Amino acid sequence: DAKTTQPNSMESNEEEPVHLPCNHSTISGTDYIHWYRQLPSQGPEYVIHGLTSNVNNRMASLAIAEDRKSSTLILHRATLRDAAVYYCIRDNYGQNFVFGPGTRLSVLP
């Protein structure tokens, strides 16, 4: 089963950090963990991905548990433009990205 588990929705205040959790308890040793987000009326866009180590880029940070059964996407300072559906996905060698329903993030001004 290539699925991941995420909360249906989360809320954050503007300019506060947001931690979006994801469980992938059946992940295999070679599966990457990807995060994408989808703004209203757009296709999903890449946010970040990693394999074992924590990763940072200009958009976010990705913290991966030592046993790799879970991960957390961290938005350091949420803005109104970060309101979107966030998807956590296991990458089965780039051929079968399985998206779940994702987490709908609301950002309150």
Partner 1 sequence: DVKVTQSSRYLVKRTGEKVFLECVQDMDHENMFWYRQDPGLGLRLIYFSYDVKMKEKGDIPEGYSVSREKKERFSLILESASTNQTSMYLCASSEWGAGEKLFFGSGTQLSVL
List of residues contacting partner 1 (CB under 8 A):
30-32, 34, 36, 42-46, 49, 51, 87, 91, 93-102
Smallest separation, CB 19 to partner 1 (Å)? 21
Our CA dihedral for 89, 12, 45, 4, rounded to 10 degrees, sits at: 10
d(CA 97, CA 26): 15
Helix (H, G, I), strand (E, B) or coil at 29: coil
Smallest separation, CB 96 to partner 1 (Å)? 7
Smallest separation, CB 93 to partner 1 (Å)? 5
d(CA 6, CA 62): 15
The smaller minimum CB distance to partner 1, of residues 18 and 87, is found at 87
